[in-house]
Amino acid sequence: MYMELDGQGPRYAQLIRSLKSAILEARLAPGSRVPASRNLANELGISRNTVLAAYEQLQAEGFLHARVGSGSYVADIGNRLPTPPRLGAVPVAPLSDYARRALNASDGAFVPGHEHKGLRYNLQYGVPLTNPALASAWRREINRAVERAEFDYPDAQGLPALREQICDYLARRRGVAASADDVLVISGTQQAFALASRVLLDDGDSVVLEDPHYRGARQIFAA
């Protein structure tokens, strides 16, 4: 099987894109066996762990399925094939004042984590630390968590046990005395700025930022 990597980003991500294209374009038929990880690694000149990480991700997304002692096979994804876009104009709902301010404040050229070519020193922020071994371990832990998860609404403040551990860390490492009720677990920096601005700021309030600054915060405060 001929596979080609596009050279953009981590190699395991390149391999995922290449295999997805082959599956979606029917160059790999449903039920066909993909090469053994060791063979494909030798063919592409990459590590076996890289191939294993790509295979695990494709299995998690339903593009491949593994058979114990036999290898990995292409799943039947006929219902996932892209459909032609529907013709006709789509009515646009009127925007709120907040939405219009957000559009005016956004910087279309700025994409956190976007790769910049040809820079001797790239100080771009927003790029997560990833490698095949870390991605593989993270997926395994997510699968274990899903098996233990209860299918109901979680605590809006975050998992109580996690908040207790955060309080313990703050007390030991930072000398901060806090209870679990003082901790709010969020999904990322952007959400933190958004929540803080909604709680603390009113329209017309002034906010002081350092320069250079984090553009994501500036966009939230400007909106």
What is the pTM assigned to this prediction? 0.47
Tens digits of residue pLDDT in 93-141: 788 887 777 777 665 555 555 556 677 777 777 666 667 788 888 888 8
Q: What is the mean pLDDT of the chain?
A: 82
Residue in 63, 68, 8, 4 with CA at minimum distance from that of residue 31: 63
Residues 120-128: contacts with CB under 8 Å, at least 24 apart: 125/214
> What share of the chain has pLDDT > 90, as a percent?
21
Pair type for strands 64-67 and 71-74: antiparallel
Quote the pLDDT of residue 127. Answer: 66
Are 18 and 5 in contact, with CB atoms under 8 Å apart?
A: yes
In the predicted structure, residue 24 carries a pLDDT above the cut 90: no
Domain boundaries, the chain: 11-80, 97-125+153-222
In the predicted structure, residue 85 carries a pLDDT above the cut 60: no
| 11-80 to CATH, choices 3.40.30.10, 3.40.309.10, 3.90.1150.10, 1.10.10.10 | 1.10.10.10
Quote the pLDDT of residue 170. Answer: 93
Quote the pLDDT of residue 207. Answer: 92
